[in-house]
Amino acid sequence: PFAFQPGDNQDPRDAQGQVIYDDGVTLIETWRALESLVDEGRCKAIGLSDITLEKLQEIVAVARIKPAVVQVESHPYLPEWELLAFCKQHGIIVLAFAPLGHGMEPNVLEEPVITQIAQRVQKTPAQVALAWSVQRGVAFLTTSATPSHIRENFDISTLPQRAMVEIQEDITTRIRFNSVVETGVPGFIPRKK
């Protein structure tokens, strides 16, 4: 939801390496331009990425064509419950990136609630976290290049309702690993153990 300096450079930066934004372009103006691409037949669907609930609400309130999808960071440490509820209410698909926490600390796959559920249901912590995502109605993107992990990511099963409740109620860690929503600068924030 950030407008960058116009031009051919996809990642405009100043001499200090800071992203150069275009404060003269609003998100609504950008959305109107995307709607015109649909009108012209240049794309079938449009969506948003790295957006807050408040900014999404602003777009939906004025959109002639609502977003088809919203891609945001989401995992058991950042469940985005309110954003998910809003999207469901408006028929918008939520697409989670970093659904396994991107291997960062604190590690979602080492979360005791997740590991205990994994033991009970005889699945890996990754399979539990991905099943949780699907059962919430959230699509997800994973980035594994390891054939065994790719197969594992496909081999998910429905979690018992008790497990879904445990993940929602017993995991209290809340952390965003990628600061792009606040800063407009993509990238995961390294943390120390």
Each residue's pLDDT tens digit in the chain (193 positions)?
Answer: 888 899 999 889 999 988 898 999 999 999 999 999 999 999 999 999 999 999 999 999 999 999 999 999 999 999 999 999 999 999 999 999 999 999 899 999 999 999 999 999 999 999 999 999 999 999 999 988 899 999 999 999 999 999 999 999 999 999 999 988 777 777 776 665 4
Helix axes 125-135 and 161-170, enclosed angle (nearest 10): 100
Structure tokens at 86: 């809003």
Q: Please tell me whether residue 34 adopts helix, strand or coil conformation.
A: helix
Question: Domain of 148?
Answer: 45-183
| Nearest C-alpha neighbor of 166 from the set 126, 122, 129, 124 | 129
Q: Are the C-beta atoms of 44 and 38 separated by less than 8 Å?
A: yes
89 located within any domain: yes
Structural domains in the chain (count): 1
Alpha-carbon span 169 to 163, nearest angstrom: 10
111 located within any domain: yes
Q: Are the C-beta atoms of 74 and 134 separated by less than 8 Å?
A: no
65 located within any domain: yes
81 located within any domain: yes
The HSE-up count of residue 87 (CA atoms within 13 Å, CB side) is 27
171 located within any domain: yes
54 located within any domain: yes
13 located within any domain: no
4 located within any domain: no
Q: What pairs with residue 110 in β-bridges?
A: none
Q: What is the CATH number of the domain that holds 98?
A: 3.20.20.100
Structure tokens at 65: 């064509």
Cβ partners under 8 Å of residue 147, min gap 6 = none
Query: Which pLDDT does position 144 carry in this prediction?
Result: 86
